[in-house]
Amino acid sequence: MTYITCGSRLELGCGMDHVLETSSPYETAAECNETGATVTLHIAGRAGTPIRLTKFLAYHYGTEDSGKSNAVGTSLDQAVARGFTALLAEQEENVAQFWASADVELEGDPATQQVIRWNNFQLMQASARVHGHGIGARGLTGRSYEGHYFWDTEIYVLPFLTYTAPDAARAVLKFRYDMLPQARARAVELGHRGATFPWRTINGNEASAYYAAGTAQYHINADIAYALNKYVEISGDNEFLSRYGAEILVETARFWLDLGFFSNRRKGKFCINGVTGPDEYNAVVDNNYFTNLMAQENLRLAAKVVGALDPDARARLVSRTGLEPDEVVAWTEAADRMYLPYDARLDVHPQDDSFLDKELWDFESTPEENYPLLLHYHPLNLYRAQIIKQADTLLAMFLMNGHFSADEKKRNFDYYDPITTHDSSLSVCIQSIIASEIGYSAKAIDYFNFAAAMDLSDIGGNVKHGAHVASIGGTWMALIYGFAGLRDGGGKISFRPRLPRDWDRLRFPLMIRGRRIRVSIDHEETVYRLEVGDAIEIMHEGERLRLRPHAPEARRPTTRSQPVAKPGPGAVDPAIPDDTA
């Protein structure tokens, strides 16, 4: 059977085959019409004589007339030829491989262990067949968001894939690369140079209906650039960079240069107006801090990668993009002169030009049942107030971690955390990571638990529409970047473990440039073990460690396990020194 969707013209082919094993006589009849297919078996069964029916199913999909759905027959033939037992063994092997490189073990809290395993299983399911496909916002678990892909994949799911299944991470990024033609066309359509990726899509075309929280979220371009750079740094897959990544970087850098401008009124700084950041309670704003910072990184990465390409790769890139040398100069200038708002009175980075001048939200008069606010208030009321749906400036501070001191993070956390509703599932995981770093232990574990249990405990009451795949990826991040304190800027791996007091041990593997290391953290020591691959250098609490095969390195914490700190100015645990990771 082949189906075609009305709007996006995607073709789904599905087929079924049967192997019947019986010594009883039987007849088969098959019928296929426009709405379904039926296979009828009449078996004259005899008592005591076994009947075994094995059903084989195959699905393929692709764009209309791509011919992909024709592969269903071949796949079925191959499956039948191999037989169920062989297929089962292959699946068992695949799953075992997944857990070997992805399992996060948690001792001392079996309920949370169960949640983490369930979550990671969802990630496996969602990413197992990403070659040529994206990861929908609900994976394969539900119809919410109609299977569309967002920035969630790059910012929330890719870290997990990069560190546990680099091939899958590559496939996701390759899929984005394959959408580059539509992204170029979209830029032209919007009157811009370069390429701009759709905010939500299933086939590369923009599918969002509300531009203020859709197309205006141009930051997705910088998110993709960031994620592909992270993937290359951690996997060492420079071939992907020169073959695909560089082209994405060039086209997105072009887009940013075109979208913004050098403002005379801001002393020649590069300003980007009329954008929406990750926080959808403040839409179509000027100089969103997150967007400007990430665009700066996008421009810098593009300039750096173009400069580092070998002559052949560079020639290929120039022929594919028409790149001119002065473009790279302009990107660097825009990056160097990027306007990054700072408010001296509050000593924080304003989320955007107007954010701090908005009225404070009246939380006291907001009943519990009015959350999430977007379902109960007109967007104008939300846009008019200092109210945040999800981590925005703080997400920038996590992603571009090395740009900020812990003190800066703390000041901004103290300002933004109380006005953030976490009405998006993408928020608490990030908040947990920053809270871990700045020593707000209680807040870190609270936010982690909220993120981890979102689906199994059905916190939002909406898991019937599907699992929150990005939040699950974020939960993994809260474990690894938060409690284990992983930092990986520039591909340099460091840890600063901060194990929650109620847990006994956290143990997880990471794939880094072909190695697999396993980190085991308890309250007495952290042990780093190189399980696969050659020696590699990492940092632990600022100390350089060289990991060699089969020679685990154990280190005792420099600070003792943390008492629970309440967040808020002055409430920081004084035992945790201010420090950047």
The answer to whether 284 contacts a copy of itself (rule: CB under 8 A) is: yes
Least Cβ distance, residue 360 to a copy of itself (angstroms): 9
- Spot the catalytic one: 247, 251, 280, 408: 280
Mark out the alpha helices in 156-310 (DSSP H runs): 158-164, 166-178, 180-189, 219-235, 238-240, 246-259, 289-308
Binds a copy of itself (CB under 8 A): choice among 54, 208, 354, 559: 354
64 is known as an active-site residue: no
SS3 breakdown of the chain: % helix, strand, coil, rounded to 5? Answer: 45, 20, 35
Q: How many CB atoms lie within 10 A of CB 121?
A: 16
The amino acid that residue 534 corresponds to is D
The residue among 99 and 211 lying less far from a copy of itself, judged by its C-beta, is 211
Q: Which of residues 263-282 bind a copy of itself (CB under 8 A)?
A: 263, 265-266, 271, 273-274
Q: Could you tell me which of 56, 75, 60, 71 has the C-alpha nearest to residue 16?
A: 56
Three-class DSSP labels, 285-315: ECCCHHHHHHHHHHHHHHHHHHHHCCHHHHH
Binds a copy of itself (CB under 8 A): choice among 377, 448, 481, 508: 377
Binds a copy of itself (CB under 8 A): choice among 124, 135, 179, 216: 216
Stretch binding a copy of itself (CB under 8 A), from 72-80, 209-217, 300-308, 539-547:
209-217
Least Cβ distance, residue 216 to a copy of itself (angstroms): 6
The residue among 140 and 190 lying less far from a copy of itself, judged by its C-beta, is 190
Least Cβ distance, residue 380 to a copy of itself (angstroms): 5
What mask of x and - would describe binding to a copy of itself in positions 286 to 315, judged by CB under 8 A?
x-----------------------------
Q: What's the CA gap between 530 and 520, in Å, rounded? A: 12
Helix (H/G/I), strand (E/B), else coil: 415? helix
The answer to whether 212 contacts a copy of itself (rule: CB under 8 A) is: yes
The answer to whether 357 contacts a copy of itself (rule: CB under 8 A) is: yes
The residue among 110 and 367 lying less far from a copy of itself, judged by its C-beta, is 367
The answer to whether 185 contacts a copy of itself (rule: CB under 8 A) is: no
Q: What's the CA gap between 552 and 177, in Å, rounded? A: 39
The residue among 216 and 576 lying less far from a copy of itself, judged by its C-beta, is 216
The answer to whether 374 contacts a copy of itself (rule: CB under 8 A) is: no
Helices H, strands E: what count in the chain? Answer: 19, 17
The amino acid that residue 135 corresponds to is I
Q: Which of residues 25-54 bind a copy of itself (CB under 8 A)?
A: none
Q: What's the CA gap between 169 and 160, in Å, rounded? A: 9
Residues 6+ apart with CB under 8 A from 254: 193, 194, 195, 327
Applying CB under 8 A, the residues found at the interface with a copy of itself are: 190-191, 211-212, 215-216, 261, 263, 265-266, 271, 273-274, 283-284, 286, 345, 353-354, 356-359, 377-381, 383-384
Q: Which residues are catalytic?
A: 280
